[in-house]
A = this chain, B = another copy of it.
Amino acid sequence: MEEKKTTTRAAERALDILLCFVEKPELAMREIVEKTELSKSTVFRLLATLEAKGFVKRDPDTEKYSLGFRIWELANHINRSDDPAILFLPEMERLRDDIDETVSLYVRDGLERVRIQAVESQQAIRRVAPIGARLPLSVGASSKVIVAYTEGDLLGRVLSDPMWPSGIDRDLYIKQLQEIRTQEYAISMEEREAGTAAVSVAIHSRAGNLIAALVLSGPISRMNEEQMIQYVPRLVKAAKEMGKLV
């Protein structure tokens, strides 16, 4: 699509290696070679660089790599309020007040999504949304948003996950992802839970990275497809506002 090449390959690759640890906390060099599709020598050298700077460490027994103390050090210097869960809360509340359905925020963790923030509708019948809940990436509107906008071979790994539900058609799933990328929202009707519908959009940073999936969910009695589509512009607006904060 866009062709901007003001980036440095070697650095880019080193950062990619760091991001591998989001999938799995401990990695052998071989696994990193597979994930990044770089040559053994390159990964070896970049890992040596990262290790020398303390960004990764290596267990001398298992010889596996994991994130090093520098990450911990940097994390201490990142503003607590940079946590999307805190940063996005006011905008989520505004959205909930406008529509009065439950609003959730999901980020990916490996092959799952985690609800890191939620504000519930104030109606008697409402979707309850405990923070911290973990759900698979195979079903649900926000799952598809996350997979649709994540670069790399996440899709392949989700599809080949042994936990993939036998009731779900892989080809349909792939087709839905395409649709999501063009229409920029995802809808699910009673996909994971009977009686529940949801509509989700992606939150991107200014640089274009996927930060999280924003979801509006409620009972199908109030949320038919037509209704949900009418909510989309409001959702998109909220996601844009949130993106600006990151």
Residues in chain A within 8 A of chain B (CB atoms): 6-16, 18-19, 21-22, 25, 44-46, 48-55, 57-58, 60, 66-79, 82-84, 107, 109, 205-209, 211, 244, 246
Contacts and interface: CB of A to CB of B under 8 A. Distances in A.
B74 A209 contact: no
**What copy number does this chain have within its complex?**
2
Contacts of A22: 73-74, 77
Nearest to A53: B15
B74 A71 contact: yes
A207 B70 CA distance: 12
A172 to B, nearest CB: 30
Contacts of A74: 18-19, 21-22, 67, 71, 75
A13 B73 CA distance: 18
Nearest to A246: B69
Given A22-B77, A57-B246, A206-B57, A11 B69 contact: no
Contact of A75 (B15, B78, B211): B78
A45 B205 contact: no
Contacts of A19: 53, 70, 74
A246 to B, nearest CB: 5
